[in-house]
Structure 1
Amino acid sequence: MTDGQSLLLLFVALYLLECLRWLPPRSLLLLGHGSSWQARRPFQPVELAGGSPALLAFLPPLQAHVTTLPWLLVPAADGLEVRADRLRPLLLPWERLSLRTEGRTLHLAPGHRVRCLSEEHARQAQQQVQQWAPLAQEAREADFLRHAEATLKSDPLIGHAEALTGQTRLLRGLASLIFLWTFGVLVALYRWLGDDVEILWAAGVLFVLQFTQAVVFFRRARGLPYRFWKTLAIALLPQHAMRAADHFCQVAMPFPSHPLAARSLLGDEAWKKLAAQVWKQTRYQPAATADLQSRALESFLGQQGLAVADLEPAPAQQPGSALYCPGCQAQFQAGVSRCQDCGGIELRAF
């Protein structure tokens, strides 16, 4: 392997690392621009420091991204229910809570923490739990329902996505050009010219593109932390120049939107599929707050013109089956009344 090939492999590895994000395991990543968006979940089986890896779109045309977050903390009568991952929710008694924030991590009690989208989100969650602790359960539920309604509003999420699209359009265009020049033109020229001095002219063009990207970024990045150092990295390193727009996308919204707020971004078909998944995970997962969250979702879905019955269609009946589980869709013969795999959900007849 030549020095040029080794350098190219190094650039590929560094670029993929720049495309990797560690997000709350139950978050939903929205990728796209304009009116074209798609959803992607973090890889939940891998978890480190409360986060799971998610890979951004790394091929041109490069996209903006927005992270949404379902309800991770829900008040129950006996304690705070923590729904930070796909496993059974954890119920922490109110008297055990010892709240503190560390960056974007909210520590709830010794050995228990949740990862938020930003330091501001972590502080907001801390304040909310502190407000719930001394209240009666009815007051907690009322406050949670108001919070849930706010996170399900689509206007803040749509406005944020539109602002990101416009703010990063030029940066994403230049990033796509830098990607094609780095991994396309330079590779072809190196294969043709080898280590001759002419290849340095092509590398000079890459530097000019990076410098242009750095100038555009610096002019638009007023208010971003570490603006100068980020600009310097964009000017000198191709992988940073290709991901320059991500610095704007990582600025979190004032409060996190629920994934179901993205209906107009995802389109009706993808949104209804997502709504069915969220409904089943909420309604049929063994949890102390399943009824409370279901009330919030049922009210929202009704406003969207979607009946709960539409989210729970019966599966195609298999020979010999008389009952099915509305949660996991497993089928059973007569004589069984509950699905033990779903925590004792009552079965339904076909």
Structure 2
Amino acid sequence: MSITLVRTHWSDPVGRELRSAQQADLTVRYGPWQGGPIPDLNPAEVEAFIVAFEDGKPIGCGAIRRESADIMEMKRIFVVPEARGRRLAGIILEALEREAVALGARYMRLETGTQQPESVRLYERYDYRPIDAFGYFADGDDTLFYGRDLDTVAARPAQPAVRRIHGVLHEVEGALIPSESAGVMIADLAGGYAIRRASSTDVPALLGLLADDDVAHARGDAPDTDPAADISVFERAFSRIDRDPAHLLVIVDSPAGEAVGTMQLTVLPGLGRGGVNRLQIESVHVATSERGAGVGSAMIRWALAEGVRRGASITQLTSDLRRTRAHEFYERLGFARSHAGFKHLG
């Protein structure tokens, strides 16, 4: 089983179809709704919406909405009937919990019903416990309410054989399929800056950011940014990074659309510390013109959250000994000088 989880927008057509199928399923279980119109989720309140695919076919979905700074509500978890019985709902649930933790939540709550015994078993298996009624169906005789703390989510091992992408759904030969095409915007940072997956056309801009670095010049390995320079070796290196799903090379665009930051994230599985995944942050660069404006802090905070989303329990990085200001910067963000680093350049 190989599952792809695509984080997309609430109005995505594939997601709408899955939610319609879920509503039809609920009508079969509970009968036609006799009350007033049921309010739909406000898209502005949906913090994350995930669609699950298997072999290009959408098979399930789920969402979280923010209730308060610390509390998220899980909504619309659904798996199509032909894909049930394989714990796919648990995969979606775990992904939504990771999203919630990455977005600062400490508690998750949800509602389900007496005619959904498989949902009740799912939530209880994940340590959800009954709580006081809330929301539109608070007075419903057949509605059940559950909640749990999210303090152990970050340490949970990532699901095997699950690929997570920030996506958009593209139409190919009449079918909507998930894509992790380079250049797709991943997240908004503060102040109008945006972070996105780098594309091959960004290589010259990436080299410009790498060259905007006194330490690289002192080492003698700053790239040549002359437009006439041969950059084929860097293009090949970018292709190797981009093909490997363990790596994510991102670029930050300013409000004016200029490339002003970059870093590379790598998820490293290991046997140490209980077999947890580690997130390695490498090659963090912010353009001189943007330093001191909070761009670097926003990048690292986003990277820490992305590590949680990708199943990492530890985030680590190295920094050249000459970068004393960078060391202070990382310590302010909560990193500790816990190890000594060594390189062999043979």
Task: Return the TM-score normalized by structure 2.
Answer: 0.26
- Which has the higher relative contact order, 1 or 2, with Cα contacts under 8 A spaced 6 or more apart? 1
Task: Return the TM-score normalized by structure 1.
Answer: 0.26
Q: Is the helix fraction higher in 1 or 2?
A: 1
